[in-house]
Amino acid sequence: MAGKKLTCLNCAQLNRVPFDRLGDNPKCASCAAPLMPRKAIEITPAILAKAAANDDVPLVVDFWAPWCGPCKAMGPEFNKAASELSGKARLVKMNTQEHATISSKMNIKGIPTMVAWQNGRELKRKSGAMKMWQIVNWVPEG
């Protein structure tokens, strides 16, 4: 079956979704979790590794920590952007305090930092808090 490859952000199952169905709230064939969530959700380093390597749709990760003021300010804006971009990109969050080794592994120098991946490669990254419209404009086209 042709379609866009998407890793389930809940169970890590690789799914294929027809391009014209990305905006129709597709669900994982294995666990029925939404594949294109309308809000940013927390993921694990293992799911990040699989999704970054396999997904055909842009995956944008907000690397953040609960003690970071700019991260807390950007959180609601990132969620609004996730809703705005649903069907075009997936926006997820990675807690760098909870997953302490991820910052060095991903070469994150400061937080918040957004990194976008698609088709197994990093497309771009940006550090610093942004408003919803800035995030939407920054995210690469899927």
Here the CATH number for the domain that contains residue 56 is 3.40.30.10
Q: What is the pTM of this model?
A: 0.93
Residue 19 lies in a domain: no
Residue 16 lies in a domain: no
- One DSSP character per residue, 77-105 reads HHHHHHHHTTTT-EEEEEETTTSTTHHHH
Residue 26 lies in a domain: no
- What pLDDT is attached to residue 19? 87
Residue 10 lies in a domain: no
Residue 80 structural domain: 38-138
Residue 17 lies in a domain: no
Is residue 11 annotated as part of the catalytic site, yes or no?
no
Task: Say how many domains are in the chain.
Answer: 1
Full pLDDT tens readout for the chain, 142 residues: 578 999 999 999 999 999 888 889 999 999 999 999 999 999 999 999 999 999 999 999 999 999 999 999 999 999 999 999 988 999 999 999 999 899 889 999 999 999 999 999 999 999 999 999 999 999 987 6
- One DSSP character per residue, 110-127 reads SSSEEEEEETTEEEEEEE
Residue 6 lies in a domain: no
Residue 101 lies in a domain: yes
Is residue 71 annotated as part of the catalytic site, yes or no?
yes
